[in-house]
């Protein structure tokens, strides 16, 4: 408690933030250099070797090519992860609303609970936009949907 009242905690947080910026830039520079070096070494060693793609298995049930199947998986994968994160964010909202109602001893009114749930569910928007919102139009749609829902309530 003494640490928070004397101003040491804000000072520590401020200094840590100031120190973290140049350190993170340095680490990113080292990482980028290592990636570029790795890409150059792989490009030089396998430049004359051609890899033939495997033929499609005969027992495949869909007429889709292997490239189409990979593309479909790449499109579905981030949205599956976004759904999992959205469920976790929804659970967070439920826990927070329960805590607020119990701590403040407010009565249970459905509209109050719904407003609190939507306001605590904002991480859903962030996670969907970070995980699956690869197109700016998708990000704008998710953000607009959230605020439209808030406006309707």
Q: pLDDT tens digit string along 88-126?
A: 999 999 999 998 888 888 888 888 899 889 888 888 998
Residue 23 lies in a domain: yes
CA 40 to chain centre: 30
CA 128 to chain centre: 6
Residue 51 lies in a domain: no
83 and 142 co-located in one domain: yes
> Sign of the C-alpha dihedral, residues 20, 22, 27, 31?
positive
Residue 90 lies in a domain: yes
Residue 57 lies in a domain: no
Gap between the Cα atoms of 37 and 41, Å rounded: 6
DSSP 10: H
Report which of residues 136 and 63 the model is more confident about: 136
Q: 7 lies in which domain range?
A: 2-39
Full-prediction pTM beyond 0.75?
A: no
33 and 87 co-located in one domain: no
Q: How many domains does the chain have?
A: 2
Does pLDDT of 127 surpass 80? yes
83 and 132 co-located in one domain: yes
CA 112 to chain centre: 28
Give pLDDT, residue 72.
Answer: 75
Mean of per-residue pLDDT scores for the chain = 81
């Amino acid at each position: 408690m003494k640490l928070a009242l004397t101003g040491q905690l804000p000072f520590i947080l401020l200094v840590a933030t100031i120190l973290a910026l140049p350190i993170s830039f340095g680490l990113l520079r080292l990482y980028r250099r290592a990636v570029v070096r790795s890409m150059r070494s792989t490009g030089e060693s396998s430049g004359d070797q051609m890899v033939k793609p495997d033929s499609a298995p005969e027992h495949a049930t869909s007429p889709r090519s292997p490239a189409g199947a990979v593309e479909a998986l790449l499109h579905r994968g981030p949205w599956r992860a976004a759904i999992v994160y959205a469920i976790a964010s929804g659970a967070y909202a439920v826990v927070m609303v329960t805590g607020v109602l119990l701590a403040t001893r407010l009565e249970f009114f459905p509209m109050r609970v719904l407003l609190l749930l939507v306001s605590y569910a904002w991480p859903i928007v962030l996670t969907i936009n970070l995980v699956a919102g690869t197109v700016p139009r998708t990000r704008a749609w998710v953000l607009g949907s959230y605020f439209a829902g808030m406006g309707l309530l």
